[in-house]
Amino acid sequence: MSVNKVILIGNVGQEPKVTYYEGGNCVAQLSLATTDRAYTLQNGTQVPERTEWHNLIFRNRLGEVVDKYVHKGDKLYVEGKIRTRSYDDQRGIQRYVTEIFVDNMEMLSSRGAAAPQQGVSQGTVSAQSAVQPQAVPAQDNATDDLPF
């Protein structure tokens, strides 16, 4: 038995790159930053803050949701699988890319924090198009155009 599961909470580092294909398929890509805080060991050694960047891939319905609602600076919770692929660069050198194929996503940014014009509330979206809204305190009576 084996398990390939990744759970990340971090901030979106760039606007998503979204591609729509014939047949209605959608793929969205973005980078997510996770940061370990700086701290001091008991012996006085300073350990600096460390930011790790993750390449996330969203497919089909999740990709559409990312295209419509996720923006640079938003905080996301994602669950998925880690995959590594290789390719040859322009000079023929083999390179490796590690990506997270996202199965579930939850938008953690407060309403209007990163994209005030969007009117996005919090919610959970999975690759199977199941949506489970979370309780969000009412901030106004505006109508949302969310899929959940």
Decide: pTM greater than 0.85: no
Whether residue 69 lies inside any domain: the answer is yes
Would you say residue 147 lies in a domain?
no
Position 97 pLDDT exceeds 60: yes
Residue 10 has pLDDT above 90, yes or no: yes
Asked if the model's pLDDT at residue 126 lies above 90, the reply is no
Residue 143 within any structural domain of the chain: no
| Domain region containing 116 | 6-36+48-133
Determine the average pLDDT of the residues in 22-34: 93
The yes-or-no verdict on residue 138 having pLDDT over 90 is no
Residue 146 resides in a domain: no
Q: What is the DSSP string of the chain?
A: -----EEEEEEE-S--EEEE-TTS-EEEEEEEEEEEPPEE-TTS-EE--EEEEEEEEEEHHHHHHHHHH--TT-EEEEEEEEEEEEEE-TTS-EEEEEEEEEEEEEE-SPTTSS-TTT-PPPEEEETT--EEEPP------PPP----
Q: What is the CATH number of the domain that holds 21?
A: 2.40.50.140
What does pLDDT average to over the chain? 82
- Domains held by the chain: number: 1
For the segment 63-91, the average pLDDT, to the nearest whole number, is 95
